[in-house]
């Protein structure tokens, strides 16, 4: 570890001696080694996980009959959101009932033709014709069932329609995933067209959210998909949320020379809300071992140099130039100019610098 020794204590140009009263105002700390991890920081915002956010549209035209959920409700996959009177569903169910009846008729005709052929009352061609008609009717019936199934009807519901011969054009639209209703733009009586914005409902899985940040192009070489990110928000001071980089934009904004970087964060407690301001830190290298001092121990001089004030007796302080590294958790990494165990002024370092300037005049 490179280090420098202190200047002579009596060097008037670099040392200042305090009175006993003044010395009591100076807080002295001891230089100790610590670990500093290289990292990249950026400011961004929380957003919905768009990969797990679904706008729920009506698949067919119709007028809304009932609404079963409202914004803010937690819904499970398959839970009804709203229903509408659908002329298309009505037509499909009507065709199902019709083809079911025709299939039953042709099945009876075929059975009767077979019996008559057994007693030689009818010809073979009559049986073959009845068999062809029955097969056509069976194909039409299966197609009709599939047409109704497309509307979300279960096999049990389809069998019930066939058995009761009662049709109802109410089409129920369900949630495609488990999550929370984040928007509702529908009410009873509203006429809906498929795909017309805004979507009647929007459902989002809030177990994960995105943190989106614009990162300088100079930091991009340090970032990779899959790196771990520590995210903090002002709403929860002192609390860190764990995330992982899931996407790095392909292009850089030509105006800002920044690229969007997205991290996916697990949020099982639903603490994070979209549009919250957030900051993330991503570890980009191995921990570095070096001397550490509180940030307020370091003074920037007029010529741009960074210095600290070293003391042995808590009365006389000598200015010492130092080389800085990373700043983390209120500590400054000292990569040169200081040895372990040396005592340095913390609170009051700026006061000492000002006193030394006045003393030098």
Summarize pLDDT for 148-173 with one digit per residue, the tens: 888 878 888 888 888 888 888 888 89
* HSE-up (13 A, CA, CB side) for residue 37: 11
pLDDT at position 177 is 93
Sort residue 281 into left (φ over 0), alpha (ψ -120 to 50) or beta: beta
pLDDT at position 14 is 82
Which stretches of the chain score pLDDT less than 70?
1-12, 37-38, 120-122, 284-287, 360-361
pLDDT at position 7 is 38
Answer yes or no: are the C-beta atoms of 260 and 249 closer than 8 Å: yes
pTM: 0.62
Distances (CA, A) of 165 to 41, 168, 245, 297: 66, 10, 56, 87
Counts of helices then strands in the chain (DSSP H, E): 5, 24
pLDDT at position 121 is 64
pLDDT at position 123 is 72
The secondary structure of 115-143, three-state, reads HHHHCCCCCHHHHHHHHHHHHHHHHHHHH
CA geometry: angle 203, 199, 85, nearest 5 deg: 105
Question: Three-state SS for 360?
Answer: helix
DSSP H or E stretch at residue 314: none
pLDDT at position 54 is 94
Q: How far apart are CA 104 and CA 96, in angstroms?
A: 12
């Amino acid at each position: 570890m490179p280090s420098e020794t202190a200047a002579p204590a009596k060097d008037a140009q670099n040392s200042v001696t305090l009175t006993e009263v003044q010395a009591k105002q100076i807080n002295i700390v001891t230089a100790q080694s610590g670990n500093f991890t290289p990292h990249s920081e950026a400011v961004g915002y929380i957003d919905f996980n768009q990969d797990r956010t679904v706008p729920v549209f009506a698949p067919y035209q119709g007028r809304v009959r009932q609404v079963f959920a409202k914004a803010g409700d937690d819904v499970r996959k398959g839970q009804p959101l709203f229903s509408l009177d659908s002329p298309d569903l009505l037509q499909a169910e009507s065709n199902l009932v019709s083809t079911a009846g025709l299939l039953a008729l042709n099945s009876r005709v075929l059975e009767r033709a077979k019996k008559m052929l057994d007693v030689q009352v009818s010809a073979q061609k009559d049986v073959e014709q009845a068999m062809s008609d029955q097969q056509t009717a069976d194909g039409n019936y299966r197609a009709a069932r599939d047409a109704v199934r497309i509307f979300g009807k279960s096999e049990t519901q389809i069998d019930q329609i066939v058995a009761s011969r009662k049709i109802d054009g109410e089409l129920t639209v369900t949630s495609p995933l488990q999550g929370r209703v984040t928007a509702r733009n529908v009410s009873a009586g509203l006429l809906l067209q498929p795909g017309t914005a805004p979507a009647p409902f929007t459902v989002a899985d809030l177990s994960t959210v995105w943190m989106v940040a614009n990162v300088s192009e100079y930091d991009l070489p340090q970032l990779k998909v899959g790196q771990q990110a520590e995210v903090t928000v002002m709403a929860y001071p002192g609390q860190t949320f764990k995330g992982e980089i899931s996407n790095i934009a392909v292009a850089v904004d030509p105006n800002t020379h920044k690229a969007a970087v997205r991290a996916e964060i697990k949020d099982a407690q639903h603490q994070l809300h979209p549009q919250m301001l957030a900051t993330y830190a991503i570890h980009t290298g191995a921990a570095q071992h070096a001397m550490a001092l509180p940030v307020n121990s370091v003074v920037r001089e007029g010529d741009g140099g960074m210095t600290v004030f070293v003391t042995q007796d808590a009365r006389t302080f000598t200015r010492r130039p130092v080389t800085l590294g990373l700043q983390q958790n209120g500590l400054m990494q000292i990569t040169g100019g200081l040895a372990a165990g040396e005592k340095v002024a913390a609170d009051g370092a700026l006061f000492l610098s000002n006193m030394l300037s006045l003393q030098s005049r």
